[in-house]
Structure 1
Amino acid sequence: MNLDNHGHGEQLSSLERVKQFFQSKFGQTTDLAVVSISIGSYEGLLCYLTTMTSSDFIKKQVLKELASPEVSSPPTKEAVFQQLGNNHFAGLTHEVVTDLEQLPPKIVLGYGIILIEGVPMALAVDVRSLNSRSIEEPTTQNVVRGPKEGFTESADTNMSLIRRRFNNVNLRFEKFELGYMTHTAVYIAYLDGEVDTEIVDQVREKLKQSHIDSLFDSGRIEELLHSKGKGMQLFPTVYNSERPDAVCRHMTNKRIAIIVDGSPFVLVVPSIFTDFFKSPEDEYQWFVIGSFSRYLRYFAFILSLTVPALYIAVTSYHQELIPSILLTSIAAQREGIPFPASIEILLMEITFEILREAGTRMPRIVGATISIVGALVLGEAAVQAGVVSNITVIVVSLTAISGFVAPIYTFGSKVRFFRFGMIVLSSVIGLYGLVLGCCLLMIQLTRIESFGVPYLSLFSKWDKRSVT
């Protein structure tokens, strides 16, 4: 039967045509329920996906209402239909649909469709009842003092965690759909009147112009939200966090949060260099201690970048800079080592990266064991075999530990790229290479922008769009 020859209202009024339409759209999928029911004294139809709701919810919230004696009291079908929406399902999100083509998108979103024979309209009722992970403590950002709640994979839950922290009528949520195959819900959250409208418009435009096929995690759209700026985006310009208090704190500082349904990581834009060294816990303790912790992270960042390169430069090219006693100790340890210092460092750095990747990908039960035992055994064995020196193991270990100090893991992972660049430059031209690498790094940092905000805006004056 060619359904296109009939008007939309006429198609909806015929339950048989609706069944054929659903069959043509959904095929033989087993999770589509098309149930013939009685609505009062009239023939009706209930359609929903069993994978998007539970049978108990359908029985208690839908079928129980449809079987109510009050449903049969109105004299006409249209009156019964109006009563369903106005009275029986008033407590659930619902809407009236008059276009047959709009029914499949509603069903895949978790709506149940109610139709009455002869009525040219359908009632779409939100019947989603999915099992989701409960609110737990964040796994990637440990909390010593502060709220123990973390975002989950449910966008509704994540929005409620933000709403609970803002008793403010100016909090706004806007919905978008990304991925032409998945139609994933994406929400932006901001405080109206606080955030710059130009930045909000830029975020809206980037999301609307996205042409991705699927979206399962917020990391998929980080590249989409990166501002191109004047230089290569080798540093992250999009902040991500599992902690609602961290995201809300950024929102009070004129930022925009992006929530992706299915991801426990909420994004924040615009983001600047200093954001990746701040922790919400800095504000939950004495100012002096919080400031000391933050400056310690900056110092650790510098150490993780420069220590291996500095060691190579001074041991290979500038031995006169090393105190005599220390130089004698280093020379004694390196006696019999077949490789130059640069090869030693590269070997140990690559070994540590392999161990880190193995510890991350291994099952959680054995992952920690592989990381700790592997590092100890390999390090000790390498020293005993005369492949590397003790001082090299110390340098690489200090560098690795310093790289984990940044509260945001994605930022620390970027440091590794520059560290290898510094090692290569120092291996070629010594301290001059280290200085050159630092200069290139600073030039790169000064050229980066995040939605028009200078990446190093903490160290420069910025106009009315100031981000703190």
Structure 2
Amino acid sequence: MEQITKYYQQNVDYFNTTLGVGRSCDVVSRDLHIAGRKARIWLIDGYGKDDVIERMSAFWLTIPQANVEKVADMKTFVERFVTFSEVDVSKTTQEIVTGVLLGKTLLLVEGVYGAATIDAKDYPSRGVGEPSDGKVLRGSHDGFVEAMVPNMALLRRRIRDPHLTMESMQVGSRSHSDLVLCYLDDKVDTKILADLRTKLQSIEAQSLSMGQESVAESIRHKQWYNPFPKIRYTERPDTAAACVMEGRIVLMVDNSPSVMLLPTSFFDFVQEANDFYFPPLVGSYLRLLRMAVFAISLFITPVWYLLVKEAGRLPVYLAFLAEPEATTLGLFWQLMIVEFLVDVLKLASLNTPDALNGSFAMLGTLILGDFAVQAEWLSVEVLVYMAFVSVASFAQPSFEMGYAFKLLRLVMLALIAVADVWGFAAGLTVIAVLLATNRPIVGQGYLYPLIPFDKKAMGRLLVRRPISKDNT
């Protein structure tokens, strides 16, 4: 990397050009005189803490000339005259420019070799309100935001242990996005940590334009055909803190309000924060209910379609499942169309202004309800089963797992339409193969603690146990 020179004006010209002074309206610079010497500061408008910078500048302007006469190195200058606690000294141009673009204030002083980057920044951010996709009836109601420092503070507040480590790194040859690995250095699996660190350091990308998703796509195994998620996300600090206490790693990505929990297995998705804010018996019931809903949401429409596909196949004791009435569209196409229409309504609701949400809901009800039934496009039974599937998809907090189940449900419906019972068996085989061959980013395996089998971990997964000194 290129080093700065010992000539003050040369350095000033370089940073003026590189940072875009006069070219970018948000790059602010100002000349000062410190103890009879020329000095200049650079910062990004909107990042700097004006009151802190003003107090430091006022102090520098009062320094007697005699106190600076023998100071020739920036490290010595910082030790004597920079009162702010977070300050670095650098002589590398790329490191200095990156620091300014991250929000630090750059200081150069004539006759003093080196540059000081003062971390007096304040990123614009929203409040730490409760995330919309992880609400609880009991417990804390705060959530992660898009800035790193508040997110780290939310974890520090919950884990006041000197072993809690926040390891930072930067990714992206142009964006230099910040990443932070959070873990307990006396509980984390060092092999998993080293493996994850190597994967992150080997990322070759100019920028992380999509935040954590860009990181995930860069480090996960290329299995495009496997819909099962390899990473669990959360916007809840209490969930992240609990995972850290278990010896896991929390990966934070700048500009992302959710964090990545690693390693991740399939069974992690059946747990939720609400399980731990109720007594163990109630928590165990909620967890088992969630597991049952998982399975039902995947199999209910394929199994029902298989049973009513041919007249007379439905057993008498299952008569309550109801065979559909004859309609213009075939049963298979009804199920597929409603599956797609539910997703269309979800996408449309994201772009609907709040003032029109009521009208949009009414319109969707009319299209998918009375009108479709009266026109004999859809049967009432199809709407009932698909309504249950849609509600069940919100019983677990992972959108990625919900869409994995949806894609597999569509595959099973198509296989049953083609090969009937053999198609259903093929669908079960496809699901088993995808689960068995899914390769997690790091860790023991995607089906852990079932494969490899861990009796103690499996018990904790199925039953919510009381909190003890060994069970956090």
Settle same-fold status: TM greater than 0.5: yes
The residue number in structure 2 matching 1:104 is: 97
Instruction: Find the partner of 1:240 among 233, 242, 245.
Output: 233
Query: Which deviates further from its counterpart, 212-221 or 140-149?
Result: 212-221
- Cα distance between partner residues in 2 of 1:464 and 1:21: 63
1:418 deviates by: 0.6
The reply on whether 1:120 has 2:113 as its aligned counterpart is yes
Equivalent pair of 1:237/1:269 in contact (CA under 8 Å): no
User: Closer, same or farther in 2 for the Cα pair 1:102/1:282, shift >3 Å?
Assistant: closer
Percent identical across equivalent pairs?
24
Q: Would you identify which runs of 4 or more consecutive aligned residues in structure 1 move more than 6 Å?
A: 463-468
Instruction: Give the letter aligned to residue 236 of structure 1.
Output: P
Q: 2:244 aligns with which of 229, 247, 251?
A: 251
Correspondences of 1:283-432 after superposition (within 5 Å): 283-317=276-310, 319-323=312-316, 326=319, 330=323, 334-335=325-326, 337-367=327-357, 369-371=359-361, 373-432=363-422
Indicate which of 48, 57, 65 corresponds to 2:43: 48
Name the CA distance, whole Å, in 1 between partners of 2:76 and 2:19: 30
Deviation sequence 1:282-332 (CA, Å, 0-9, x none) = 11212121111111111111121111111211111373333289489636x
Separation (CA, whole Å) in 1 of partners of 2:122 and 2:319: 67
Shift of 1:37: 0.6
Whether the 8 Å contact between 2:297 and 2:389 is mirrored in structure 1 is yes
One of 223, 241, 245 as aligned partner of 2:217? 223
In structure 2, relative to structure 1, the CA distance for the partners of 1:320 and 1:119 (3 Å cut) is closer
Question: Pick from 6, 12, 23: which aligns with 1:10?
Answer: 6
Separation in 2 of the partners of 1:367 and 1:328? Answer: 33
Shift of the 213–366 alpha-carbon distance from structure 1 to 2, 3 Å rule, reads farther
Change (3 A) 1:22 1:160: same
**CA distance in 1 between partners of 2:390 and 2:273 (Å):** 24
**CA distance in structure 1 between the partners assigned to 2:68 and 2:172 by the alignment:** 46
Aligned equivalent of 1:457: 448
Q: Which runs of 5+ in 1 are unaligned?
A: none
Structure 2: gaps spanning 5 or more residues: 461-472
RMSD: 2.7
**Residue deviations 1:81-103, cap 9 Å, x none?**
66752244243211222344543
Aligned mates of 1:271, 1:360 — CA distance in 2: 28
Q: 1:437/1:318 Cα in 2 relative to 1: closer, same or farther (>3 Å)?
A: farther
User: Which residue matches 2:14?
Assistant: 21
AA paired with 2:178? A
Whichever residue aligns with residue 126 of structure 2, its letter is R
Of residues 408, 416, 423, the one that matches 1:433 is 423
The Cα shift of 1:136 comes to: 0.8
Aligned in 2, Cα 1:419/1:59: closer, same or farther, shift over 3 Å?
same
Q: 1:391 to 1:362 in 2, by over 3 A?
A: same
2:150 alignment partner, SS class: helix
Question: 1:387: Cα distance to partner?
Answer: 1.1
* 1:362/1:459 CA distance change after superposition, 3 Å: same
| Structure 2 CA distance for partners of 1:83 and 1:240, relative to 1, 3 Å | same
* Counterpart secondary structure, 1:10: coil
Q: Given the superposition, is the C-alpha separation of residues 463 and 117 from structure 1 closer, same or farther in structure 2, using an over 3 Å criterion?
A: same
Would you say the 8 A contact 1:71–1:83 is kept in 2? Answer: no
- Determine if contact 1:35/1:45 at 8 Å carries over to the other structure: yes
- Quote the Cα distance in structure 1 between the aligned partners of 2:248 and 2:456: 10
- Tell whether 2:25 aligns with 1:30: yes
Does the residue aligned with 1:38 lie in a helix, a strand or coil? strand
Residue by residue over 1:361-381, the C-alpha shift from the partner in whole angstroms, topping out at 9 and shown as x without a partner, is 323443465245413443221
Residue 233 of structure 1 aligns to a residue whose secondary structure is coil
Partner of residue 192, structure 1? 185
1:97-123 deviation digits (Å, cap 9, x = unpaired): 234454322221222222222222322
Higher helix share: 1
SS in 1 for 2:397: coil
Q: Classify 1:125/1:150 alpha carbon distance in 2 versus 1 (closer, same or farther; 3 Å).
A: same
When the two structures are aligned, how many residues end up with a matched partner? Answer: 454
- Note the C-alpha offset of 1:461: 4.0
Counterparts of 2:277 and 2:307 in 1: how far apart (Å)? Answer: 42
Residues 318 and 430, structure 1, Cα contact 8 Å, conserved in 2? no
Secondary structure at the counterpart of residue 263 of structure 1: coil
- After superposition, the Cα gap between the structure-2 partners of 1:372 and 1:219, relative to the gap in structure 1 and judged at 3 Å, is farther
Superposed CA offset, 1:227-262 (max 9, x none): 468x95321111100001111111222211100111
Question: Which residues in structure 2 correspond to 1:32-181 (within 5 Å)?
Answer: 32-60=27-55, 62-68=56-62, 70-74=63-67, 76=69, 78=71, 84-181=77-174
Instruction: Encode CA deviations 1:393-447: one digit per residue, 9 max, x unaligned.
Output: 1111111111111122221122111110011112122233223212321222122
Measure, in 1, the Cα distance between the counterparts of 2:205 and 2:153: 27
**Quick one: distance in 1 between partners of 2:416 and 2:400?**
25
Residues 2-47 of structure 1: per-residue CA shift (max 9 Å, x gap): xx9xx84423xx2x22221123313422222231111123222222
Q: Aligned partners of 1:369, 1:87: CA distance in 2, in Å? A: 66
